[in-house]
Chains A and B, each alone.
Chain A
Amino acid sequence: MGMTIAEKILAAHTDAREVTPGDIVKVNVDVALANDITAPLAIKAFESGKQAKPADPDKIVFVLDHFTPNKDIASANQCKMVRDFARRHELEHFFDAGEVGVEHALLPEKGLVLPGDLIIGADSHTCTYGALGAFATGVGSTDLAGAMLTAQAWMKVPESMKFVFKGELLPWVGGKDLILYLIGDIGVDGGLYRVLEIEGPAIDSLDVSGRLTISNMAIEAGAKAGIIRADAKTEAYVKPRARRPYTIYTSDEDARYVSIREYDCSNIEPQVAFPHLPENTRPISEVGEVRIDQVFIGSCTNGRIEDLRVSAEILKGRKVDRGVRCIVMPATPDVFRQAEAEGLIRIFLESGAIIGPPSCGPCLGGHLGILAKGEKALATTNRNFVGRMGDPASEVYLSGPAVAAASAIAGKISSPSEVM
């Protein structure tokens, strides 16, 4: 019987030659990731173990990206705990201070996650790396502590659902619009416990950045992973970055899927998700009049250089509406440097945008851009739950970087064609 990419990767990380959906298997992990919110809990659990020594320190990655630069004493204490642990165990892949970027933008960029890898992370958006043809999934801190101790984890082998994006992308449509469209179709639990395998000519036409955006939001459909087969573009991206061997897997012709859906991209406009769930999507032409107080361009979903280029193209020579705070955060220091070199930072500053440090920033309502009661924001992030970006009575709308930039100029949710 044929196997999917997910099944092949899981099998390759166990003693078994084959795995079947529903099996619970022990897997060897290639990477175990945590951040400043989840690492402290993982460290506490880890230290409850008898001989608390990492099985393989090179597999552990810690990124202090959520409440940094630290917003208060409590978050500073959390980071210090992680920093001390990283020093004590001489973790090479520890990212702090000027090396910090949003974890899911940082790991691919640094070549720490590769095709064919099995990656777990104590962060739900760990599924991002599926875009490189890896099996990557979010777990809790205790699972992560287990992986730090044993370099293993347990997994229930998930069923896979296939999604095929056909046709050509309409203007200003990117990875974000495709994944919002998909979530709008199947709902926030439409992929529960399953793998989304995403393919088709429109996916082939996207660069790696757009694919990372898609896999990033697989969790927003409840999925365990969102996998895109690695191709020549993936190889061109990973080869110069990889410092260990990797394997490219493809699904067999006769692999089993619980469902196969096809979408025609000639019908997919730029999408906007309305509060308070990512499944509340509408095409930009049906958004109506929604005035906004804040725009956030950044995050692990859309904070890469390609996203900043799209936004800058629209903001160039134009001004952010005076009623809008437009916050731009390059996702990583390398993205920041590149944006500076290309003159994008200047474009943002001249348009009246605020530039923030590479971090999660307002995405999770931690700091650096909190919403007041009744305020509305349009963000290129992945979640618009109640209270996600501040007061429980504030609202978050989600879009890609093109609609976000256009909306910053117009002061209301707008299509790029309305401002250009």
Chain B
Amino acid sequence: MKIMGRVFRFGDDIDTDAIIPARYLNTSDPEELKKHCMEDADPSFPSKVGKGDIIVAGKNFGCGSSREHAPIAIKACGVSCVIASSFARIFFRNSFNMGLLIFESDEASGEIRESDIVEVDASTGLIKNITTGKQYQARPIPQFMQELIADGGLMEHIIKRGGI
């Protein structure tokens, strides 16, 4: 599967309070959450972002709380994938469990600019910057996580295989 979208750039250590502030966690409704996605980092983000768009960030994306509301809010905005040089570990797990595609690449994270058009091959992790013509290979996804994705997430995996 290939994804193509316009890039929104963020810096290092984007935390879960920036992705979805705790003041909105009295609900888990994706339609509500998406209205406030990334608003403490960029208040205009929810109104600018569109279907298929891609977030590119620096290191430690998604640090902080364990809230699954964070990947839910990002997905609900229409974002197709997140590329970062590294992800906080709970966010990393949650994204696989929730079916949000994420890719780790230092180079892609460092070189891709705001508003570039980028294409990602979800199965191989090959990232192509259509605007500049440069290509990057994301870090490989561990075998077990690939199984999770293939099964459609953790719950589906458990149901299908009768256990973890």
Residues of A within 8 A of B (CB): 24, 26, 37-38, 40-41, 44-45, 48-50, 66-67, 71-72, 74-75, 78, 121-124, 126, 138-143, 145-146, 149-150, 152-154, 156, 188-189, 192-193, 219, 222, 224, 277, 364-366, 370, 383, 385-388, 390, 392
Contact = CB atoms under 8 A, between A and B. Distances in A.
Which are the 4 A-B pairs with shortest beta-carbon distances? A140-B94, A74-B26, A142-B97, A189-B60
Contacts of B63: 188-189, 222
Contact of B26 (A72, A121, A219): A72
Contact of A141 (B13, B64, B68): B68
A45 B154 CA distance: 10
B68 A146 contact: no
A137 B104 CA distance: 22
B1 interface: no
Given A38-B67, A139-B66, A365 B155 contact: no
B93 interface: yes
Contacts of A72: 26
Interface of B: 13, 15, 17-18, 21-23, 25-28, 39-41, 43, 59-60, 63-69, 86, 88-90, 93-94, 97-98, 142-144, 153-155, 158-159, 163-164
Contacts of B22: 37, 364-366, 388
A392 B20 CA distance: 12
A124 B159 contact: no
Nearest to A388: B17
Contacts of A26: 163-164
Select the residue from B66, B89, B94, B97 with max chain A CB neighbours within 10 A: B66
Contacts of B13: 188-189, 277
Contact of B89 (A38, A71, A193): A193
A45 B25 CA distance: 17
A388 B158 CA distance: 35
A145 B89 CA distance: 18
Contacts, number: 146
A285 B25 CA distance: 38
Nearest to B91: A140
A388 B17 CA distance: 6
A370 to B, nearest CB: 8
B99 to A, nearest CB: 10
A149 B86 CA distance: 31
Given A150-B158, A222-B60, A224-B89, A40 B28 contact: yes
Contact of A140 (B15, B21, B66, B158): B66
A139 B90 contact: yes
A394 to B, nearest CB: 11
Given A124-B65, A189-B13, 9 more contacts: A124-B66, A124-B90, A138-B90, A146-B158, A189-B86, A193-B89, A219-B90, A387-B17, A392-B43
Nearest to A224: B89
28 contacts: A24-B142, A40-B28, A49-B158, A50-B159, A74-B27, A75-B26, A78-B28, A122-B66, A123-B65, A124-B65, A124-B66, A124-B90, A140-B94, A141-B66, A142-B98, A143-B97, A146-B158, A150-B164, A188-B60, A189-B13, A189-B63, A189-B88, A192-B60, A193-B89, A222-B60, A222-B63, A387-B17, A392-B39
A102 B26 CA distance: 17
B24 to A, nearest CB: 9
Contact of A365 (B15, B23, B39): B23
A37 B155 CA distance: 19
Contacts of A222: 60, 63, 88-89
Contacts of A387: 17-18, 21, 23, 40
